[in-house]
Amino acid sequence: MKNSKKLLFTAMSACLLLSACGEKKVPDVPDVPDEGEKKEPVRDKKFVPGNYTYRTWSSSLGDNWNPFSWETNADNSMLGYVSTPFVDMAPLDTKEQTFQWVYDMATEVKDVTADCAGDFAKYHVAYSGNAVPTEQFVYQISLNPNAKWENGDPIKADDYIESAKLLLSPEYKHYRANTYYSGESAVAGGNQYFNSDLEGIYNPVTFPDIASATAENASNTVYIDVWDFWGAKGYTKFGDDTVACPRWVPINDETVYAKPGSTDVQAKESDAFSAKALLENYGAYFSSMTLAQYEINWGYQKTYEETVGIYKVDDYKINYVLQTALDWNYFMTSLTSTWLVKVDEFVARSKVDAKTGLKVADYGNSAANTFSYGPYKLASFEEGKQVVFEQNPAWYGWNKVVEADGKTYYMSETDFLVNGEKQQQYQTTKYVIDVLTQSTAKLMFEKGLLNDYTPTAQEVKDYSMSTQIYKVDETYTMSLFFCTNEEKLAAMDQEGNKNSIALSNHDFREAFSLAIDRAEWVKTTEGYKPAFALMNSLYYYDIYNDPSSQYRKTEQAMKAIVELYGVEYGDGKEFATLKEAYDSITGYNLSKAKTLMKSAYDKLSQDGKLNGTEIVIKVAYKKGALEDDDLAQVKKLNEFLSAAIEGSGFTKITLQAVGNLSDRYGAVGQEGTYAIGYGAWGGAAFYPFRNLDVYMDPESYDLHEGLCWDPTTEKLTLKVKGQDVTMTYQNWSKSLTGGGQFANEDFDTKLDILSALEKQFLGFYYRIPLAGSTSCFLLGYQQKYFTNEYQIMYGFGGARLMKYSFDDAEWADYINEKGTLNYK
């Protein structure tokens, strides 16, 4: 998930990405510093009718909150207002910091695997083969019978099924389908259906079910799933372990595959095979249906109903069949969002894109094509200016409607207990988000016209004693990412850059990284913490069973980074232990940076690639307008690089930040119109094994480094459980999730692989980590969080449990009386 500066509406799926950064102490009633008498209403009762508007700001707004194709958190935050997840996580006891799963669009989620044995064959689930599966493959989701769209249309099982068809449809190839056709929560048959437009006929069943003669004479290539049929996952080409056995093999292919490292004798013992031999040896057991029958009954190109394991049980129950087994807690985590769209509107707004030949839907980018089933609905949207969300009267959760002063007020109480009692939820009646400059936002906040403010690094010290300042660590690692394609870089040098070709040199990129004093750089943005790896301390590999299972603290993760930066430890070394060596790393080594800069200059000069000695590179820095912190960040980078090029041959280096860019990621990673981009990846805090996909799997993500390398062809050999295994980087990343080769291995094995991949990718220096981000902001006196003790599972209670001490009328009177408010 790509980073935006601030999340305004936090569902559980977003809260999972955060971690505490200290304790907050805020009085129950806002203690507004003032020399005169304070006149503050005290909210000691629930359901006090009134208007409660939350006014916030941003430097830019999301522009694509289509549930099937959104990309940035700015987009996803818009979805948070107008949608409701199946389930969420909420506080149970804030004093004890315990949490609970709570139901929203679902009313129950239960494991029904034992009752659904027929689903295994129908949807081609890969499992152990036990007559009664002991693992959790099939979950039944009971739907909220009161859920409606904002126009009052009921939401039933058919809405979810038809939405799933659209999400996975090969006619669209939706960006967000990737979490449903691949990964640990992939639906059985999702990949087959998503790719059913591929040439050829694919057979994902346990046995080929096609006669020899039919296959021999077929005009189309027929593929067999040899992983399923022969258990060949992890096999390699006999005699060449660098060629992994693919899952889908043409039925007449004569390539022999066996277990890695097999000799002639071992190959026989380990059941070496070729697809051709399978057909010849087992053809007698195959049915004799014609090719036409095969295409209808067993072919890869089948209908959704025949292929995908999300199906209707009754009007308010659906079953979700997983491709691979998944623990209940992790499945619940996957349900903290839904795949729901208003199908009739989505279809009506779809058309074929002339450029790609795929269908696209004009859905989720304006007030006219946004359809809410959440507590709020989109009231107005002015691109680049303002968005307003107001209460959605059709939301099922309003359980108290009050008529007062000639107005109707919608209020809600939780159906679960927090701290032993039910709580009012979603007290906010309206959200207003304005696009503002930093200086304007500050003035408005101090006058009580905004409910929050994000101070600059220079300002934070002024608020250090404030009761209203919050600092929360996030999973996002802010980074610089590069385009190293020489042809693209040469073109950029004709458009304002100078010698951007330097980025094609590995030594230059490594020197670039080592030149940055991250401890100094983070001072330009309050709350940022130095980063020299892809994932920070918020990533957990087994949190539901072991809350202390931080990836970054594992021996494997620490060793990878220690080796990357060449820090030695042990007897006679500067550091006695791995932990001491890891703790010493700063990512900064100016002397080595200078040496590498000289090496880069000499090599580039020798190859005749430089045009002068000065480097000027435009950096795709931000979607919105550049702010003070952004300019300070780039100024520091220029200072660091200027120090590193001393004596190298380069005489000057200048990075120029560019803002107001609609897609800086694509501009660097796919189009090559910028040589450097600035941004972040984050998310999946509780399943770090998925995170390498964003760097290595172009089938699932548009790689920010897409013009640096091809992870689908470049290979890596790693030792796994004592054996050398060679695969492409893409396949290594995929091997850790879903039905991947090592997805069900023990944690030590998976951590070995994950850490090795992290080290290898960092060593390319296609991306340079700079800092772990935080959400650092001031909250106004009009409202307060439910709890000020941060918990990674539920944050501060989020928008659901936020409380108000003033309604809008009272707040207006208060700020008119006080003038400028003191938040220091």
Residue 824 covered by a domain: no
Structure tokens at 618: 């435009």
Are residue 528 and residue 629 in the same domain, yes or no? yes
Q: Judge if 581 and 618 occupy the same domain.
A: yes
CATH of the domain at 654: 3.10.105
Q: Residue 26: pLDDT band by 50, 70, 90 thresholds?
A: very low
Query: Same domain, yes or no, for 158 and 228?
Result: no
Nearest Cα neighbor of 297 from 307, 309, 283 is: 307
Q: What is the pLDDT of residues 414-468, one digit of tens each?
A: 999 999 999 999 999 999 999 999 999 999 999 999 999 999 878 888 888 899 9
**Are 190 and 166 within 8 A, CB to CB?**
no
- CATH number of the CATH domain containing 377: 3.40.190
Residues 6+ apart with CB under 8 A from 752: 556, 718, 720
Q: Give percent above pLDDT 70 in the chain.
A: 87
Average pLDDT over residues 665-684: 93
Structure tokens that stand for 202 in this block: 């694919």
Question: What pLDDT was estimated at residue 779?
Answer: 95
Q: Would you say residue 129 has pLDDT above 50?
A: yes
Structure tokens at 662: 């609609």
- 288 pLDDT exceeds 80? no
pLDDT at 700: 82
Who has greater pLDDT, 228 or 298?
Answer: 228
Rounded CA-CA distance 455/460 in Å is 6
CB atoms within 10 A of CB 518: 22
Q: Which element (helix H / strand E) includes 725?
A: strand 723-728
Beta-ladder partners of 475: none
Output 800 or 178, whichever has higher pLDDT: 800
Helix (H, G, I), strand (E, B) or coil at 756: helix
Q: Is the domain of 187 the same as that of 205? A: no
The better pLDDT of the pair 216, 668 is held by 668
Identify the pLDDT of residue 37: 36
What are the tens digits of pLDDT across the range 618-635? 999 998 899 888 999 999
Residue 762 lies in a domain: no
Tokens of 427: 């007290």
- Beta bridge mates, 723: 720
Residues 361 and 289 in one domain: no
CA distance 513 to 589: 9
Amino acid at position 717, single letter? T
User: What contacts 214, CB < 8 A, 6 or more positions away?
Assistant: 288, 289, 290, 291, 294
> Amino acid letter at 743?
A
Position 300 pLDDT exceeds 70? no
Tokens 């060949």 identify what position?
232
- Asked whether residue 623 falls in the same domain as residue 644, the answer is yes
CATH of the domain at 119: 3.90.76.10
Do 505 and 644 share a structural domain?
yes
- Structure tokens, 257: 């595959």
Non-local (6+) Cβ contacts of 35 within 8 A are none
| Rounded CA separation 148/397 (Å) | 10
pLDDT of residue 7: 32
Residues 226, 278: Cα–Cα separation, whole Å: 10
Q: Two tokens at 87? A: 């389930």
Pick the closest to residue 149 from 343, 318, 310 (CA basis). 343
- Do residues 430 and 808 touch, judged by C-beta distance below 8 A? no
What average pLDDT does the segment 808-817 reach?
95
Same domain, 530 and 638: yes
- Cα 93 to Cα 408: distance, rounded to the nearest angstrom: 33
Phi, psi of 242 (to 5 degrees): -80, -10
Report, as an integer, the average pLDDT of 165-170. Answer: 96
Tally of CB atoms within 10 A around 135? 15
β partners of residue 615: 653
pLDDT band at 249 (very low <50, low <70, confident <90, very high): confident
- DSSP per residue, 535-588: S-TT-BSSTTT-TT-BGGGSHHHHHHHHHHTT--BSTTSSBSSHHHHHHT--S-
**Residue 153 lies inside a defined structural domain of this protein:** yes
Name the least confident of 254-263, 601-610, 713-722: 254-263
Compute the C-alpha angle 70/72/77, nearest 5°: 85
- For residues 390 and 367, what is the distance between their CA atoms, to the nearest angstrom? 12
Please give the C-alpha separations between residue 536 and each of 20, 130, 370, 532, 660, in angstroms, as whole numbers: 13, 40, 35, 9, 28
Instruction: Report, as an integer, the average pLDDT of 224-252.
Output: 81
Strand 257-258 and strand 236-237: pairing?
antiparallel
CB of 805 closer than 8 Å to CB of 43: yes
pLDDT category of residue 682 using cuts at 50, 70 and 90: confident
Q: Which of 312, 339, 366 is at the close of a domain?
A: 339
Of the given ranges (56-60, 104-108, 595-599, 605-609), which has the lowest mean pLDDT?
56-60
Q: In the listed set 739, 756, 773, which residue is the last one of a domain according to the structure? A: 773
List C-alpha distances in Å: 466 to 250, 376, 511, 525, 783. Answer: 67, 31, 40, 18, 15
Q: What share of the chain is helix, strand, coil (3-state, %, to 5)?
A: 30, 20, 50
CA contacts within 13 A on the Cβ side of 110: 9
| Tokens, residue 384 | 């680049």
If asked whether residues 61 and 192 sit together in one domain, one would say: no
Give a yes or no: residue 400 inside a domain: yes
H helix runs in 607-701, sequence order = 628-644, 664-669, 693-696
Is position 423 within any domain? Answer: yes
**Residue 753 domain-assigned (yes or no):** no
Higher pLDDT, 94 or 225: 94
pLDDT per residue as tens digits for the range 536-577 = 999 999 999 898 999 999 999 999 999 999 999 999 999 999
Domain residues for the domain of 180 are 106-197+303-339
Tell me how far apart the alpha carbons of residues 485 and 763 are, in angstroms, rounded to a whole number: 18
Which residues 6+ apart lie within 8 Å of 722 measured at CB? none
Mean pLDDT of the chain: 86
530 and 610 part of one domain: yes
- Does the pLDDT at position 167 exceed 80? yes
Residue 442 lies inside a defined structural domain of this protein: yes
Q: Do 192 and 206 sit in the same domain of this protein?
A: no
Cα–Cα distances (Å) from 580 to 568, 576, 756, in that order, read 10, 7, 20
Q: Using 50, 70 and 90 to split pLDDT, how confident is the model at 126?
A: low
Q: How many domains does the chain have?
A: 4
Q: What is the dihedral of CA 347, 349, 354, 355, to 10 degrees?
A: -90
Contact (Cβ atoms closer than 8 angstroms) between residue 281 and residue 217: no
pLDDT band of residue 206 (cuts 50, 70, 90) is very low
CA distance 466 to 477: 27
pLDDT tens, residue by residue, 379-406: 999 998 999 999 999 999 999 999 888 8
* C-alpha span between 477 and 679 (Å, rounded): 8
Q: In the numeric block, which tokens belong to residue 524?
A: 């330009």
Beta bridge partners of residue 767, listed in sequence order: 481
Tokens describing residue 598 = 């000289």
Q: d(Cα 202, Cα 275) in Å, to the nearest integer?
A: 13
Are 755 and 559 within 8 A, CB to CB?
Answer: yes
User: Confidence band (pLDDT; 50, 70, 90) for 366?
Assistant: very high
Residue 157 has pLDDT above 60, yes or no: yes
Q: Which of 704, 729, 593 is nearest to 650 (CA)?
A: 593
Q: In 10 A of CB 652, how many CB atoms?
A: 14
Instruction: Give the confidence band of 6 by pLDDT, cuts at 50, 70, 90.
Output: very low
Give, to the nearest 10 degrees, the angle between helix 628-644 and helix 506-514. 120
Asked if pLDDT for residue 133 goes beyond 70, the answer is no
The answer to whether 678 and 694 are in contact (CB under 8 A) is no
DSSP per residue, 431-443: EEEEE--HHHHHH
Residue 22 has pLDDT above 80, yes or no: no
DSSP 791: B
Q: Residue 46: what pLDDT? A: 79
**Which pLDDT tens digit goes with each residue over 250-284?**
777 899 999 888 888 777 776 788 888 877 776 54
In-domain check, residue 99:
no
CA 203/CA 213 separation, integer angstroms: 16
Are residues 399 and 481 located together in one domain of the fold? Answer: no
Q: Where among 773, 788, 807 does a domain terminate?
A: 773
Indicate the range of 148-157, 504-513, 789-798 predicted with least confidence. Answer: 789-798
